[in-house]
Amino acid sequence: MLKRGAKIGIIGGGQLGRMLALAAYNLGFKTEIFEPQNNCPASLVSNTHICADYDDINSLTEFAQNCDIVTFEFENIPIKAARIIEENANLYPNSKSLELTQDRLVEKNFIKTCNLECAPFFEINSLEDLQSAITKAGTPCILKTRRMGYDGKGQFVIKTPDDAQKAWDEIGQNPAIIEGFVKFDFETSIILTRAIDGQIVFYPNSQNIHENGILRTCIVPAPLNEKQIAKAQEIGAKIANELNYVGTLAVELFVGDEIVVNEIAPRVHNSGHWTIEGTATSQFINHIRAICGLPLGNTEICAPKIEMQNLLGDEILSIPELLKSPNTYPHDYGKNEIKAGRKMGHVTRLIK
Ligand code: AMP
């Protein structure tokens, strides 16, 4: 169990790191951020910031040695960096969780070994692989880079076999997978927190609505029946237990006739931001509790319905207006530069 005043290292300084740092601060812990960019959202609310690149071995070692435990806010940390941290400090979640989720092919194979449903997939290393996979998967299908894809980036929807060359060029001819198209009614995610002793708490599912590949709105609770909720929780628990996971985990799911796994996020997740006002113990607080060896808290929803909307680009300027409405809680991530489509904040509405 981590002692009061201990220091938690957070790799990555974006909004997720910021909300983790605020949660840690509420429990009396100090935080140190490791992030290459100055004045990042998390460093603005943390005790210290190591501003260095992820291949800077000396800085990574110093960071790990400064901290009592280390966690992360994004899964694309080079695995070498994670290993250096693990040699010098306790890293939660473990580097295995990172390694599996950094590469879509490895992740999909892992999902299969867990006996869970996912879209049919094929490994792509050449245009010839792609052409043959399109024949097997049928159209439409989706070409996705194995690494560094997020918010719909590094993806190409193939509508006809003639799209192959264009799609291959579009993703920079990088190692990829083809996924068969899943027919689903809506998307949801299961968010859970697993403690060091293996105890798991689940959050209510949200319905996730995307626009242009970016999460736009979450509606909680999602329209799932009891059997579907139990299935979603079973999927989340299976993955968390297999990984010996510690902390908050999100699994994105497609809901149709069956529940199909889309993606695993080994971290707190955008579709769980509503938990800050919508539950007594947010996904961020439970993550900090879990990695510090503290008891987990209540995850029940505290309003009949909750809506979370991301504030993109200059929508962030609407916060004074949003504050005029009752039960409306906007968050500003403190990013200096407003860019069209950039996640600048979010707003949660409790609907009574
Ligand atoms: P991803 O980055 O893999 O989460 O994909 C972004 C979005 O693309 C998802 O949230 C879905 O809306 C859509 N998508 C991804 N993969 C598939 C698939 N195999 N079948 C249908 N839609 C998909």
Index of the ligand 1 atom closest to the CA of residue 150? 2
Closest CA to 88 of 58, 65, 67, 63: 65
**Mean of the per-residue pLDDT values of the chain:** 96
State the CB neighbour count (10 A cutoff) for residue 124.
27
Domains: count for the chain: 3
User: Looking at the domain assignment, is residue 171 inside a domain?
Assistant: yes
- CATH number for the domain that contains residue 143: 3.30.1490.20
Same domain flag for 241 and 206: yes
| Percent of all residues in the chain with a pLDDT value above 90, rounded to a whole number | 96
User: Looking at the domain assignment, is residue 236 inside a domain?
Assistant: yes
User: Looking at the domain assignment, is residue 99 inside a domain?
Assistant: no
User: Looking at the domain assignment, is residue 2 inside a domain?
Assistant: no
Same domain flag for 227 and 342: yes
Same domain flag for 152 and 215: no
Same domain flag for 225 and 343: yes
As a whole number of angstroms, the distance between CA 209 and CA 193 comes to: 23
Find the 262 Cα to ligand 1 centroid distance in Å.
7
Same domain flag for 172 and 272: no
Same domain flag for 150 and 292: no
For residue 151, what pLDDT is reported?
64
For 294-316, what is each residue's pLDDT tens digit? 999 999 999 999 999 999 999 99
User: Looking at the domain assignment, is residue 105 inside a domain?
Assistant: no
Ligand 1: residue of 262, 263, 270 to mutate (most ligand atoms within 8 A of CB) is 262
Query: pLDDT-derived band of residue 336, with 50, 70 and 90 as boundaries?
Result: very high
Closest CA to 52 of 68, 40, 70: 40
Same domain flag for 46 and 134: no
Would you call 331 helix, strand, or coil by DSSP? strand
Index of the ligand 1 atom closest to the CA of residue 119? 19
As a whole number of angstroms, the distance between CA 114 and CA 299 comes to: 26
Index of the ligand 1 atom closest to the CA of residue 208? 10
pTM, 2 dp: 0.96
pLDDT at 254 over 70: yes
User: Looking at the domain assignment, is residue 296 inside a domain?
Assistant: yes
The residue type of 72 is F
The domain containing residue 158 runs over which residues?
120-180
Same domain flag for 214 and 257: yes
Same domain flag for 218 and 308: yes
b/e per residue 188-220 (b: at least 16 CB within 10 A) = bbbbbbbbbeeebbebbbbbbeeeeebbebbbb
- CATH number for the domain that contains residue 330: 3.30.470.20
- CATH number for the domain that contains residue 41: 3.40.50.20
Would you call 305 helix, strand, or coil by DSSP? strand
For residue 213, what pLDDT is reported?
84
Query: Is the distance from CB of 120 to CB of 179 less than 8 angstroms?
Result: yes
Is the CB of 181 inside a 6 Å radius of any atom of ligand 1?
yes
Tell me the pairing of strands 69-72 and 7-11: parallel
Is the CB of 179 inside a 6 Å radius of any atom of ligand 1?
yes
Would you call 234 helix, strand, or coil by DSSP? helix
Across 41-66, average pLDDT? 97
Across 120-126, average pLDDT? 97
Is the CB of 25 inside a 6 Å radius of any atom of ligand 1?
no
